[in-house]
Structure 1
Amino acid sequence: MIYLDSAATVPMRKEALAAYAEAAEKAYGNTHSLHDAGSDAAGYWDSCRQLWASFLNVRPEGIYFTGNASEGNQLAIRSLLKGRPPNKRTIITTKLEHASVLTTLHELEKEDYQVEYVPVDRNGIIDIEIYKDLVDDQTALVILQLINSEMGAMQPVAACTAHAKKWAVPVHCDIVQGFGKISMDIKALDVAAAVCSAHKIGGPKGVGIVYIDPAVHWESVYEGTTHQNGFRAGTVDVPGIVSATIAAKHAVAEQQDSYRQARQLQEFLINHLPAGVALTGDVETKSPFILGLILPHVEGQWMMLQCNREQIAISTGTACKIGSGEAMSAMGAMGVETDVARKFIRISFCRLTTEKELKEFLRVVDQTLKKPALL
C-alpha cells in the first residue's frame, strides 16, 4: 500500500523495535521497586528523561511519560489549571486544536470555566491582535497547538507566549505534528507545557511525552499518586519509553533532511495538482508534511474510499476525530463553507514517502475527478 497518512501514524523504526525488545528483556523491573531490578529500570527511565530534555532543550525534571499524547494533553491542561488561582476561570484557545484538547475544554466548561476561541484567518492562523485583547488578569491558561493536524497551519506560539507572560499566564502547546519534523526548541517557544507523541516519529503507540516547566506551579490530577511526581498514576512502561526515545533520537538526527524532502514533495504535488484541486493554508508558512486539499466536485470521503480501492492510504482529517466531522470544525473556523469542507482530503508525508508514490496518488485523483458519474 502507498501510505500517505503519516500525520495519523507512521511505521515503527527497526531501531525502535530492537530497543523495545532489549529493554523488555533487561529493564523488566518496576521503577518504584527498591531492589536491583527496580533500580535498573529506573536507570533506563532516568536516562530517557535526560535524552528527551536534550531533544527539547529543557530541564529533565520536567519530563513525564503518559499512555499517549491525548492523555498527555488532558493531564497537562488539568494539572496546570489545578495550580492556578481559583478565581482565574478563563481559557484562551482556538477551534483548530486536537480532539483531546477540545474534549477536555468541553468538560471544563461544565466545571464553570469560560473558554474563549481566538478567530483564525483563511490560512488557519490566529488573529494575534484579538488574542492579545483576550488575555488578561483573569486568564487561567492559554492552549495553542503548534501545527494544525488538518492542513499544517503553524501558529506564532513564541509571540503568543511572550504576550501571555505579561499577565503571568502559562501556555500549553501541543507539538505532536512538529517534533522530529521542524527544528524544535521549547526554551525558545517559552511555553509552560508541551506534549508530543512517539508513534508519529516511528516509535511505539502507547507513549506520550509531556514537558512541564519545573518553575511553573501545577498540582496532580490524581490524589495520592506517587509515580512520576504524581503527574500520572501507574507503573511506568520502561520498554515503550526506551523505544520512543530511540525513535526520537533518529528523528532529531534526520530532521533537516526530512524537512527538505517534505518541502520538495509538497512543491511537486502543488505543481501537478489536477485542475480544480486547491491547497489549503499558506504554502510559505505551513508545515510541508501535511497538505489539506479541497476537491472541485467530489466529497472527500468518496475520494478516500476510491484511493483505498487503489491501495493508497489518505484521510479526511485527524484520525482521533474520524466520524465526528474532523475537518468540518477546522474548515468552519477558517470560514470555509460546509459544502466545500465536505470535499476536503488530507495527505501527509514521512521520511519514507517518495515522488513516485505521489505520482500514483495524483493519477488516481485525476481519473476519479474525470469520471462522468461524478460530474
Structure 2
Amino acid sequence: MKYFDYAATCPLDRDAADIFIKASTEYFGNSQSLHEAGSAAANLLESCRQEFARLLDVEEAGVYFTSGGSEGNYLGIMALLSAKRKNGRHIITGAAEHSSVYNLMKKLEGEGWEVTFLPMDEDGIIKIDTFIKAVRPETVLVSIQHGNPEIGTLQPIQNIAGYCRSNGILIHSDFVQSFGKISMNSLARSVDALSISGHKFYGPKGTGVAYVNPKLAWKPYIDGTVHEKGFRPGTVNVPGIAAMTAAAQKAHSLIKQEHDRLKELRTIFADTLTELKSPYTIFGSEGDEQLPGIVGMALKGVEGQFVLLECDRKEFAISTGTACHTGLLSPAKTMAAMGINGKEAKEFFRISFGRKTAASDVVELGKLLASISGRVAAV
C-alpha cells in the first residue's frame, strides 16, 4: 500500500517508539505519586513541558498535556469561556472547523450562546474583512483553525489575534495540522489557547498538547481535577508524552527540509496531471498561505468516494476528507464553507504527502487519477 493520507495520521517515528518503550519500563511511576518512581516520572514530564514551551515559544506555565487535538480543542475553548474578559455570549468560529470544535459550538448554541460560522473565499481563506464584520460588542471568543485539514490552507491567525487583543476578545486556534510543518515563531504566542496532536507529526496516538495563556484566570472544566494543574483528569501518559516530545523535536529540526521537499512533490503531482490533460481542480492557496503536503482536489464528473475506492483497489491510500468526517453522507465541510455544494462538492477527495512519499509514487498516483478520470469520461 502506497500511503497518501498523512493528514489523517502518521506512522510512529522509530526513535520516538524507542523512547516510548524506555519511558514505559523505566519511568512507569504515576507523576502525582510522592515516592521516588513518581518523582522520576514527574521530572521527565516537566522536562517534556519545558521542551514544548521552547518549541512553541510560549510560557511553560501554560503548557498542558492532553489525549490529542480533540480534547485540547474542547478543554481549551471551555477554559477561555470560563476566563472571558467581558460580558457577552457571542462566539465567532470558522465554517470548516474540525468536528471537535464544530460539535462543541453546536452544543454551546443549545445552551444559549450565539455562534457565527465564517465562510471561506474561493482560495479557502477567511478574509480579515469578513471576520471584522462578524465581530459584535458582545463577542467574547474566537476559535479559528490555523491549518485546514482538507485543503491545507493557512488562516491569517496573527492578524485575527491582533484584532482580538485590541478588542478584549479571547482567541483559540487549532494548530493540529500546522505544528511540526511550519515554524511557529511568534505565532503560538499570538493566541490565548491552542491545541496540537502527537500523531500528526509522527508521535504516538492518544497524545497532545494544549496551551492556555497562564495570565488568564480559567477554571477547571471538572471541579476537583488535580492532574495537569486541574486542566484534565486522569493519570498522565508520561511514556506517550516523552515519545511525542522526541517526535516533535525531530519534526521541528526537519521543518525547512520537509517543507521544501513536499513543495517539490506538490509541483511534480500537478505537472503530472497537467501533462496528461486530465480535467481536475486543486483547491486552496499558494505560498505562505498553503501547507504543501495537503492536496484537496476533484476530478470533474467523478465522485470522490469512487476515486478513493479505485485508488484503494490499486493499493493507494487517499481519503475523502478528515477521518472524523468519514462515513457521513454530507460533503467535506471545507467545500460548503467555500460555497461549493451538490454534485461538485461530492467530487472532493484529499491526498497528503509525508516523509516516506517518493516522487515516483506521486507520478504513479497522478497517472492513476488521470486513468480513472478518462475511464469515467468514456462511459
The TM tier, using the shorter chain, reads over 0.9
Please list every run of 5 or more consecutive structure 2 residues that lacks an aligned counterpart in the other structure: none
Deviations 1:158-199 (A, max 9, x none): 000000111111110111111111111355650001111100
- Alignment of 1:80 onto 2:80: yes
Q: State the superposition RMSD in angstroms.
A: 1.5
Deviations 1:128-163 (A, max 9, x none): 112112224311210011110110111100000000
Instruction: Report the counterpart of residue 345 of structure 1 in structure 2.
Output: 349
Instruction: Report the counterpart of residue 191 of structure 1 in structure 2.
Output: 191
Q: Provide closer, same or farther for how the CA distance between residues 360 and 192 of structure 1 changes in structure 2, counting only shifts above 3 A.
A: same
Partner SS state of residue 173, structure 1: strand
The range that moved more, 52-61 or 133-142, is: 133-142
Amino acid at match of 2:244: A
Aligned residues with identical type, % of pairs: 39
Residues 18-97 of structure 1 aligned to structure 2 (within 5 Å)? 18-84=18-84, 87-97=87-97
Instruction: Report the counterpart of residue 105 of structure 1 in structure 2.
Output: 105
TM-score (norm 1): 0.97
Q: How far apart are 1:360 and its partner, in Å?
A: 1.5
Equivalent-residue separation in structure 2 for 1:329 and 1:106 (angstroms)? 14
Instruction: Report the counterpart of residue 237 of structure 1 in structure 2.
Output: 237
Q: Provide closer, same or farther for how the CA distance between residues 172 and 17 of structure 1 changes in structure 2, counting only shifts above 3 A.
A: same
Q: How far apart are 1:119 and its partner, in Å?
A: 2.4
Q: How far apart are 1:350 and its partner, in Å?
A: 1.2
Deviations 1:351-372 (A, max 9, x none): 2111111112112212212225
Equivalent-residue separation in structure 2 for 1:316 and 1:187 (angstroms)? 30
Equivalent-residue separation in structure 1 for 2:297 and 2:133 (angstroms)? 33
Instruction: Report the counterpart of residue 159 of structure 2 in structure 1.
Output: 159
Equivalent-residue separation in structure 2 for 1:89 and 1:185 (angstroms)? 32
- Alignment of 1:264 onto 2:264: yes
Partner SS state of residue 323, structure 1: coil
Asked if the contact 2:85/2:168 (under 8 Å) is kept, the reply is no
Q: Provide closer, same or farther for how the CA distance between residues 201 and 18 of structure 1 changes in structure 2, counting only shifts above 3 A.
A: same
- Alignment of 1:280 onto 2:283: yes
Instruction: Report the counterpart of residue 356 of structure 1 in structure 2.
Output: 360
Deviations 1:249-303 (A, max 9, x none): 0000001100000110111111121420111112333111111111112100001
Partner SS state of residue 358, structure 1: helix
Instruction: Report the counterpart of residue 118 of structure 1 in structure 2.
Output: 118
Residues 297-316 of structure 1 aligned to structure 2 (within 5 Å)? 297-316=301-320
Asked if the contact 1:92/1:141 (under 8 Å) is kept, the reply is yes
Superposition misfits of 4+ residues, deviation over 3 angstroms: 186-189, 325-328, 372-375
Q: Provide closer, same or farther for how the CA distance between residues 9 and 229 of structure 1 changes in structure 2, counting only shifts above 3 A.
A: same
Aligned length: 375
Equivalent-residue separation in structure 2 for 1:327 and 1:178 (angstroms)? 23
Please list every run of 5 or more consecutive structure 1 residues that lacks an aligned counterpart in the other structure: none
Q: How far apart are 1:329 and its partner, in Å?
A: 2.3
Equivalent-residue separation in structure 1 for 2:271 and 2:371 (angstroms)? 17
- Alignment of 1:365 onto 2:369: yes
Deviations 1:99-119 (A, max 9, x none): 110011111111111001222
Equivalent-residue separation in structure 2 for 1:317 and 1:223 (angstroms)? 36
Equivalent-residue separation in structure 2 for 1:212 and 1:143 (angstroms)? 13
Asked if the contact 2:16/2:244 (under 8 Å) is kept, the reply is yes
Equivalent-residue separation in structure 1 for 2:86 and 2:346 (angstroms)? 41
Asked if the contact 1:73/1:174 (under 8 Å) is kept, the reply is yes
Q: Provide closer, same or farther for how the CA distance between residues 301 and 214 of structure 1 changes in structure 2, counting only shifts above 3 A.
A: same
Equivalent-residue separation in structure 2 for 1:8 and 1:188 (angstroms)? 22
Asked if the contact 1:150/1:327 (under 8 Å) is kept, the reply is no
Q: Provide closer, same or farther for how the CA distance between residues 203 and 267 of structure 1 changes in structure 2, counting only shifts above 3 A.
A: same
Deviations 1:1-57 (A, max 9, x none): 110000000111100100000000111111111111110000010000000001000
Equivalent-residue separation in structure 2 for 1:85 and 1:112 (angstroms)? 19
Amino acid at match of 1:169: I
Partner SS state of residue 324, structure 2: helix
Equivalent-residue separation in structure 2 for 1:186 and 1:8 (angstroms)? 26
TM-score (norm 2): 0.96
- Alignment of 1:324 onto 2:328: yes
Equivalent-residue separation in structure 1 for 2:330 and 2:10 (angstroms)? 20
Equivalent-residue separation in structure 2 for 1:292 and 1:160 (angstroms)? 25
Asked if the contact 1:317/1:326 (under 8 Å) is kept, the reply is no
Equivalent-residue separation in structure 1 for 2:177 and 2:245 (angstroms)? 17
Instruction: Report the counterpart of residue 300 of structure 2 in structure 1.
Output: 296
Amino acid at match of 1:226: V
Q: Provide closer, same or farther for how the CA distance between residues 328 and 201 of structure 1 changes in structure 2, counting only shifts above 3 A.
A: closer
